[in-house]
Amino acid sequence: MALLVQKYGGTSLGSIKRIKAVAEKIKSSKEKGDDLVVVVSAMGHQTDELTKLAAEITLDPPRREMDMLLSTGEQVSISLLTMALNELGTPAVSLTGTQAGIITESVHGRARILEIRTKRIKNLLGQGKTIVIAGFQGTSLGIGGIDEITTLGRGGSDTSAVALAASLEASRCEIYTDVPGVLTTDPRIVKNAKLMKSISCDEMLELASLGAAVLHPRAVEIARNFGVTLVVKSSWEDLNGTTLTSKKNHIFSEGGIEHRSPVDGLELVENQAVIALSNIPDRPGIAAELFESLSKGGVNVDLIIQATHQINSNDITFTISEKELDNALTQSEKLINSIGGEISSQSGLTKLSIYGSGIMGRPGIASSLFQTLYDSGINIRLIATSEVKVSCVIDEQLGKKALRNVGEVFKLSDKQITLNPTNENNNEPAVRGIALDKDQIQISVKNVPDKPGTASKICSILAEKNISLDTIVQSERKQQENTKDISFTLKKNDRSDAKYALEELISNWKGAKLEEGESIARVSAVGSGMPFTKGTAGKIFRALANQKINIEMIATSEIRTTCIISEKHGEKALNTLHTCFELGVNKS
């Protein structure tokens, strides 16, 4: 007999009729002979409704009281679903997060799961009961022995389900939702989005964090770390859905379910070069022209960064392998000759990266990497961040020293450190999915001192407030008095905390100021074949330029290219990129 964990989302439980239909579905799974643990979300939009009620009283509700309020949503659905199951003759019992033994850290609003004390669940399973557990909530052990109800963050019941599957060593975890599985993009915005039969956890982690709400990224993180077989499928139809795959064998240190060692590897890629184009015109089509001509010239570009423009001009910086420098310079100079601007290049660089799914949502990790490099006297030439990786381009001569010091700080063993890894072409598509995130704002810190430690200070002051920077871009241009600009995006919710913290910091820097950009959206293309496919970036930028969409910032990581654009163009950009990579269902 197998143990299955099934999770049903809010829409699937939006009415009594739907709850009864879900009960029928659970009953038939049970009749196939499997043991079942069912995790549920609040009914329909209940969590939003409760949040609105609180907002009618205060704009700044205490996080503890919000947890008390929001956790009631799931308590309604567990009890109703359990009643419906018992009515159908399927013996069931409901449990809140606390009763199910879901222990979290003592943080309200975004607690991580530390462990699940499964004794009670196992006893009930032994009695042949189907167990219905409230997702999205747990209990902290509290200080002084006082238990508190905690919640995991919006969308967190996926995480409850996968954590239960990991702790109970379930044979699989099935996420039932209102779409047939993971699609190439959001079907609410792009009508011909196509179902994927499978997707790697790495790709899904990026997509989920960049706006694909179908899975909570932390659920993917747990599936990837514990090897949980995770399937996303429709609540309405009996179809196969999408299976998440994880190929890599990760090495982990001991720790809680969501509190394992956040970094599980470190690598150094030598022989890198950077080309920086500055003061180039800020208009659609420039990035497209540059990266198209590079790919036509046979150059494979790695990281790309475009800084915020100042009065109608832009800086674009990219990295390539050193042996491609001459060729890349020739192509870039041709462009500069026709559009104007300056060009500079530097070889003898190395790319140091830390990786691990635990980097996600823990801003302190990137900040301690920057701090370690600063303490080692190493200047960071360029930063690229993704959900699972932070890369810094630094002077090659200091590479080995950086490797040693960073390895020590993150307590990595020799086995977890790789010099010049050889990534094999996996023949995966360059772009598998596109995501849109409208939940971000853009902030620039202008005229900050251009010396080691500046980025590290900005990140660490925000990390102290648990604020993650999603896209970090340092401008190339040196300004008067040796200053530069650093731009980044962060979640809208974190805006006031971030501004408050940053204002205090920059008051120490003469002439520095904060600037908030216009409303933005992030559109991202993700695919594990991206590092092996020349011309992907050019294709993305060209497609956006053809629609006259100006790109304000560009940031890439290995398997993703993100463009920051004006919010009003978000949906058009999503549709454009989806069509450009022919990801949709063929309508013929």
Q: Which of 155, 211, 285, 341 binds ligand ASP (CB under 6 A)?
A: 155
In whole angstroms, what is the distance from residue 523 CA to residue 438 CA? Answer: 9
Any idea what the Cα angle at residue 329 is, between residues 326 and 335, rounded to 5°?
A: 150
In one-letter notation, the amino acid at residue 253 is S
Please tell me whether residue 213 binds ligand ADP under the rule CB under 6 A: yes
Q: What is the dihedral of CA 122, 159, 232, 176, to 10 degrees?
A: 70
Closest separation in Å from C-beta 147 to ligand ASP = 21
| 22-41 residues near Mg ion, rule: CB under 5 A | none
Please tell me whether residue 285 binds Mg ion under the rule CB under 5 A: no
Strand partners, 306: 316, 554
Please tell me whether residue 283 binds ligand ASP under the rule CB under 6 A: no
Choose between 72 and 261: whose C-beta lies nearer to ligand ASP.
72
The answer to whether 288 and 541 are in contact (CB under 8 A) is: yes
Please tell me whether residue 155 binds Mg ion under the rule CB under 5 A: yes
For residue 27, how many other CB atoms are within 10 A of its CB?
17
Choose between 304 and 583: whose C-beta lies nearer to ligand ADP.
583
Three-class DSSP category at 126: helix
| 408-437 residues near ligand ADP, rule: CB under 6 A | 433
Closest separation in Å from C-beta 176 to ligand ADP = 7
Please tell me whether residue 9 binds ligand ADP under the rule CB under 6 A: yes
Please tell me whether residue 188 binds ligand ADP under the rule CB under 6 A: yes
Closest separation in Å from C-beta 431 to Mg ion = 24
Q: Return all residues near 108 (Cβ < 8 A) that are at least 6 apart.
A: 63, 64, 66, 67, 148, 150, 151
Residue 217 token pair: 């990224």
Please tell me whether residue 265 binds Mg ion under the rule CB under 5 A: no
156 binds, among ligand ASP, ligand ADP, Mg ion, none (CB under 5 to 8 A by kind): ligand ASP
Choose between 220 and 349: whose C-beta lies nearer to ligand ADP.
220
Closest separation in Å from C-beta 136 to ligand ASP = 4
| 82-141 residues near ligand ASP, rule: CB under 6 A | 135-136
In whole angstroms, what is the distance from residue 526 CA to residue 66 CA? Answer: 34
| 397-416 residues near Mg ion, rule: CB under 5 A | none
Q: Which stretch binds ligand ASP (CB under 6 A): 153-161, 281-289, 304-312, 365-373?
A: 153-161
Residue 134: name the closest of 237, 41, 16, 20 by CA.
Answer: 41
Please tell me whether residue 212 binds ligand ADP under the rule CB under 6 A: yes
Choose between 70 and 366: whose C-beta lies nearer to Mg ion.
70
Closest separation in Å from C-beta 10 to ligand ADP = 4
407 binds, among ligand ASP, Mg ion, ligand ADP, none (CB under 5 to 8 A by kind): none
Please tell me whether residue 155 binds ligand ADP under the rule CB under 6 A: yes
DSSP code, position 239: -
Q: Which of 61, 109, 153, 187 binds ligand ADP (CB under 6 A)?
A: 187
Q: Return all residues near 544 (Cβ < 8 A) that are at least 6 apart.
A: 284, 288, 551, 563, 565, 573, 576, 577
In whole angstroms, what is the distance from residue 254 CA to residue 242 CA? Answer: 30
Please tell me whether residue 156 binds ligand ASP under the rule CB under 6 A: yes
| 480-509 residues near ligand ASP, rule: CB under 6 A | none
Instruction: Name the phi and psi angles at 35, rounded to 5.
Output: -80, 145
Instruction: Name the phi and psi angles at 190, rounded to 5.
Output: -115, 115
Binding mask 20-59 for ligand ADP (x = CB under 6 A): ---------------------x------------------
The answer to whether 282 and 313 are in contact (CB under 8 A) is: yes
In whole angstroms, what is the distance from residue 182 CA to residue 215 CA? Answer: 8
SS3 per-residue string spanning 379-430: CCCEEEECCCEEEEEEEHHHHHHHHHHHHHHCCCCHHHEEECCCCCCCCCCC
Please tell me whether residue 44 binds ligand ASP under the rule CB under 6 A: no
Please tell me whether residue 527 binds ligand ADP under the rule CB under 6 A: no
In whole angstroms, what is the distance from residue 98 CA to residue 104 CA? Answer: 10
Closest separation in Å from C-beta 428 to ligand ASP = 29
Closest separation in Å from C-beta 7 to ligand ASP = 8
Choose between 137 and 367: whose C-beta lies nearer to ligand ADP.
137
DSSP code, position 80: H
Closest separation in Å from C-beta 12 to ligand ADP = 6
In whole angstroms, what is the distance from residue 437 CA to residue 524 CA? Answer: 8
| 241-260 residues near ligand ADP, rule: CB under 6 A | none
Closest separation in Å from C-beta 26 to ligand ASP = 18
Closest separation in Å from C-beta 571 to Mg ion = 21
Beta strands in 527-569 (DSSP E): 553-557, 560-566
Choose between 187 and 284: whose C-beta lies nearer to Mg ion.
187
Please tell me whether residue 77 binds ligand ADP under the rule CB under 6 A: no
The answer to whether 57 and 48 are in contact (CB under 8 A) is: no
The residues binding ligand ADP (CB under 6 A) are: 9-12, 41, 155, 177-179, 182-183, 185-188, 212-214, 433
The residues binding Mg ion (CB under 5 A) are: 9, 155
The residues binding ligand ASP (CB under 6 A) are: 9-10, 41-42, 47, 73, 135-136, 154-157
